[in-house]
Copies of this chain bind each other. A is one copy, B any other.
């Protein structure tokens, strides 16, 4: 990395090579649903969580609460919740779309060596409430920034992350017996991917292609 001098202190600059590799990282970060059962190297989860903890948060509140789910009985109950909600979701589609939906692999809960249930504290003391009076949802948004940081940091190490949202959030909170003020934001599967792709699986199996950025950009 090139260091460039600032007026007060030396601040980091980033090389052209870093720029290119950062773009590669964003392009190859994928939602992974096909995991090897191989465990993560010793210390890796702690390292990734340490990087994720650098994420921004409203009022510096750091509202994320991360539950490492190791208990086999608890994992089995989460998997049951997924299976029930996934079947309920399938039944909401018409026949052809439902058949297509049922062919999708939407979670790697049975294979992934690491399960993380990520909650957001809706009433943290830390931060003294700053920045969240009119938009209290910025607490959960801060937690999403942490999750996204974790996702990118994992991919740098060749580790895949799958975000499972086909769950009853209140059922997961009950299974894991967490504080009443905690809101489930994501249930993450983490492990080495069985296969790697630069295109999203939902695009590859023709469920949903990406569309041009121009359709999402407006001027006022």
Binding site for B on A (CB under 8 A): 1, 6-9, 11-15, 17-31, 49-51, 53-56, 58-62, 64-71, 74, 85, 88-89, 92-93, 97, 101, 104, 106, 117, 126-135, 137-138, 140-141, 144-145, 148-149, 151-153, 156-158, 163, 165-169, 176-178, 184-186, 195-196, 200, 202-203, 207-211, 213, 216-220
Contact = CB atoms under 8 A, between A and B. Distances in A.
B208 A60 contact: yes
Number of copies: 2
Contacts of A18: 18, 21, 156
12 contacts: A18-B18, A22-B25, A49-B217, A58-B163, A66-B218, A67-B218, A68-B220, A85-B134, A92-B129, A130-B207, A137-B140, A148-B149
B61 A19 contact: no
Contacts of A211: 62, 126
A210 B60 contact: yes
Among A11, A135, A169, which residue has the most Cβ atoms of chain B within 10 A?
Answer: A135
